[in-house]
């Protein structure tokens, strides 16, 4: 569902003694810990199961159940309690205790799902995420505080060498697509909206880009040659962050033009220039960064995050770029990395 509903929080507020909620941008809250204890016995479950019929009864799940005798096993119970305590507001900056005031603030930010709306479809997703991107970020920071999610480790470029060699067996190509969820790449947005990707990246992991392309461009002049184009256009969600790490532009369900220019051996994507207005490089040897990952949202192919040089997020993603790209005559070449 990519979110929490206002109905769920309202129920928790009304029925539980205390409820704590977490919001960390770029990170999913996923632990499940259930503890039941009295004076002489305790049962602890720690695993993957949601607190649902499917999670606890009918699904295939994994976890461990500890049945304790007290006070003999008190130290194990205390260890489990420490896990829970580590997530409380005094120990985790992005955690708060739910109150009616907090619930009202979240409703005012338009960041909660509404279970009375259809579960799937563009309307539900747009109602939540568009409002969040326009008004919610600063308000959420005021509720939850700042929290920096660690970036994933880069996948070494050597993993993709067999693909880049040209003679790729299908199984090898499929395998590389499975292990890479996304790419981080320094880019140069041109005034006309064109961005050159990297043929090195395309050859390393063609499946990620849907390459080779099956469609063709339609030249403005009939005498011009047509180029391979990805058809249909991949649908992407775009977010643009400035040098302070502030979200300055967002687009949902954007049709991305992706073309292979054979003569120059280039892959280019085209994005409306005003969308990328907030990521101009400060110097000739610094490049904005594109973080492009496969999307889990229905009917969406990729999430594309653009960062201008200067922010902590930019430096975090720059550290993930473990492969150098040809400089093309520039003083400093671009870099990229897979994750």
What is the value of pTM for the model shown?
0.70
CA 303 – CA 296 distance, rounded (Å): 9
- Average pLDDT of 7-33? 90
Q: What is the pLDDT of residues 270-304, one digit of tens each?
A: 999 999 987 865 555 689 999 999 987 778 999 99
Q: What are the structure tokens assigned to 236, written together?
A: 């992407």
pLDDT at 255: 97
Could you list the beta-strand ranges (E) of 103-255.
182-186, 194-196, 215-216, 228-229, 235-241, 247-255
- Look at 250 and 161; give whichever has higher pLDDT: 250
Place of tokens 């991107």: 133
Per-residue confidence band for 127, with pLDDT thresholds at 50, 70 and 90:
very low
Contact 329, 316 (CB under 8 A): no
Q: Could you say which DSSP state residue 100 is in?
A: H
Q: From the CB of residue 192, how many other CB atoms can be counted at a distance below 10 Å?
A: 7
Using alpha carbons, select from 315, 319, 320, 327 the residue that is nearest to residue 284.
327
pLDDT at 297: 78
As a whole number, the mean pLDDT across the chain is 86
Q: What is the pLDDT of residues 308-331, one digit of tens each?
A: 999 988 999 999 999 999 987 888
Contact 184, 321 (CB under 8 A): yes
183 Cα distance to chain centroid: 11
- Average pLDDT of 118-138? 50
Identify the structural domains of the chain with CATH numbers, from first to last: 6-144 (no CATH), 157-338 (2.40.330)
| 34 backbone dihedrals φ, ψ, rounded to 5° | -120, 130
């Amino acid at each position: 569902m990519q979110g929490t509903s206002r109905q769920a929080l309202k129920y928790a507020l009304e029925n539980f003694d205390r409820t704590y909620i977490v919001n960390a941008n770029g990170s999913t809250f996923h632990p499940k810990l259930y503890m039941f204890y009295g004076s002489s016995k305790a049962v602890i479950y720690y695993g993957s199961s949601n607190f649902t019929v499917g999670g606890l009864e009918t699904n295939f799940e994994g976890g461990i159940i500890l049945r304790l005798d007290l006070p003999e096993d008190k130290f194990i119970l205390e260890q489990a309690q420490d896990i829970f305590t580590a997530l409380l507001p005094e120990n985790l900056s992005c955690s708060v205790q739910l109150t009616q005031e907090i619930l009202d603030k979240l409703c005012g930010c338009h960041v909660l799902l509404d279970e009375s709306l259809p579960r799937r479809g563009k309307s539900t997703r747009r109602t939540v995420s568009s409002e969040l991107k326009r008004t919610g970020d600063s308000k959420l920071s005021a509720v939850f505080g700042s929290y920096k999610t660690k970036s994933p480790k880069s996948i070494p470029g050597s993993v993709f060498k067999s693909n880049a060699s040209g003679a790729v067996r299908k199984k090898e190509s499929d395998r590389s697509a499975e292990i890479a969820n996304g790419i981080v790449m320094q880019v140069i947005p041109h005034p006309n909206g064109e961005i050159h990707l990297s043929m090195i990246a395309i050859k390393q992991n063609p499946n990620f880009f849907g390459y080779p392309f099956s469609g063709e461009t339609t030249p403005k002049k009939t005498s011009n040659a047509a180029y391979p184009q990805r058809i249909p256009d991949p649908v992407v969600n775009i977010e643009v962050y400035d040098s302070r790490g502030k979200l300055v532009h967002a687009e949902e369900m954007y049709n991305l033009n992706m073309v292979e220019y054979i003569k120059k051996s280039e892959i280019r994507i085209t994005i409306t220039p005003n969308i990328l207005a907030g990521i101009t490089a400060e110097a000739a040897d610094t490049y904005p960064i594109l973080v492009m990952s496969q999307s889990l949202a229905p009917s969406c192919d990729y999430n594309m995050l653009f960062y201008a040089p200067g922010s902590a997020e930019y430096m975090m993603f720059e550290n993930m770029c473990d492969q150098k790209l040809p400089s093309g005559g520039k003083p400093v070449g671009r870099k990229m990395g897979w994750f």
